[in-house]
Amino acid sequence: MWPYPRTLAHRGGGTLAPENTLAALRCGLAYGYRAVEFDVMLASDGVPVVVHDPELGRTVAGSGHINEYTAAQLGVMEAGAWFGPAFVGEGVPAFDAVVAYCKAQRIWMNIEIKPAPGFDVATGEAVARATRGHFAQEIAAGELLPLLSSFSIAALEAARQAAPELARGWLVEAIPDDWARTARELGVVAIHCDHQQLTCALALAVKQGGLGLFCYTVNTPERASELLAWGVDGFCTDRIDLIGAAE
């Protein structure tokens, strides 16, 4: 149930580059990572952009909300200076640009649909349709495709309606008691959870239930080894300098 890479660079470059930027993707690639996780939400013009926070201020200089600005406006905002002077000039990348880079470099993608409050359905639909458009040839050829994931059940349902060909993962913090029923109703292929709230017994139950199991965000080789021994299929990490891409 998990035909995907096992070790993913979190938000592109982990802690070594400004998250969710093209620089982060280049950093992850430099460390041998050809599998990444990143976040996508909608700009005010409905264009998907790669960014984590719905508000500006933490990683993107400015004030207000992401969905108050167009994708073009976000593209020239400062999204790298907060991390260090070497990254000054990095903007918020459009989803299309990130996909183009990943395809050119043969980087597999776990695309987290990260809707701003109230935009779950619109974001799920837009991201799924855009992804389907980028991978039309791969869909026709039966090749390995990106995996869509989200904490938002509404976004996952919208993505399924918009692009049923694309597999989806259900993101949670702690796996709830009704995980099997909900996963079945959502038609997801995997559950993604906080590794700190996972037990060996629960990992075994999920795997016996026929689902893939993915963890975030694993930052020590010792914990990575333990989780893999439990049967976890994959994980993302911020410490791409400590955990090899083939771990």
Q: What amino acid positions are annotated as catalytic residues? A: 10, 52
Instruction: Answer yes or no: are the C-beta atoms of 200 and 222 closer than 8 Å.
Output: no
Cα–chain center distance at 43: 18
Q: What is the C-alpha to C-alpha distance for residues 36 and 41, in angstroms, rounded to an integer?
A: 17
Q: Look at residues 12, 83, 88 and name the one whose alpha carbon lies nearest to residue 51.
A: 12
Dihedral of alpha carbons 89, 93, 97, 98, sign: positive
Tell me the C-alpha distance between 51 and 193, whole Å: 20
Q: Rounded to 5 degrees, what are φ and ψ at 167?
A: -70, 155
State whether residue 24 is helix, strand or coil. helix
Q: Residue 8 forms beta bridges with which residues?
A: 236
Whole-number Cα distances in Å, 175 to 53, 115, 219, 224: 23, 21, 20, 19
Contact indicator for 242, 32 with CB cutoff of 8 Å: no
